Amino acid sequence: MEMVVKKQNPENGLMRWMIATVAVLFGVITIKSGGQVLFGDETYRVAAGDYVPFVLWFNFIAGFIYMIAGVGIALSEQWSVWLSLLIAASTLLLFAAFGLHIYGDGAYETRTVMAMTLRSGVWVVIFILAYRNILRRS
């Protein structure tokens, strides 16, 4: 019986660690900024302006999931690819719900639109790169 050893491309490992780092840092920043508004003093809420509570809570909770996905990506775990897809899809669904909130004349900040655009794009890219670097190489 012959044992087959796959050679791992060092570029895949570097890319995977870069993706993981972005995911974890994105999570830390999301938790910090959301936590300040949710649990900090009034100055943070005033500075946040017309924030949308369901968007804020979703993003705050998602920050912890971002970090879990990032660790899974760093460890080359297949489940992290599917978690990244779940994050991307749920973020896009939240963005759509936020759009309905805006359409219904709900108060909001333009920076929230920009942040949701960034979040959606980042997680779609993380999913694609994780898929290519973890699942396709398996």
State the DSSP code for 135.
I
- Report, as an integer, the average pLDDT of 110-116: 97
Domain-embedded: residue 5:
no
109 has pLDDT over 50: yes
Q: pLDDT category, 12, cuts 50, 70, 90?
A: confident
Domain-embedded: residue 44:
yes
Domain-embedded: residue 22:
yes
Domain-embedded: residue 48:
yes
Domain count across the chain: 1
Domain-embedded: residue 3:
no
Residue of 124 and 7 predicted with greater confidence: 124
Domain-embedded: residue 51:
yes
Cα–Cα distance list, 20 to 8, 50, 130, 131, 134 (Å): 18, 32, 9, 13, 12
Which domain does 129 fall in, by range?
Answer: 10-135
The whole-angstrom separation of Cα 127 and Cα 70 is 11
The whole-angstrom separation of Cα 66 and Cα 32 is 13
Contact 78, 134 (CB under 8 A): yes
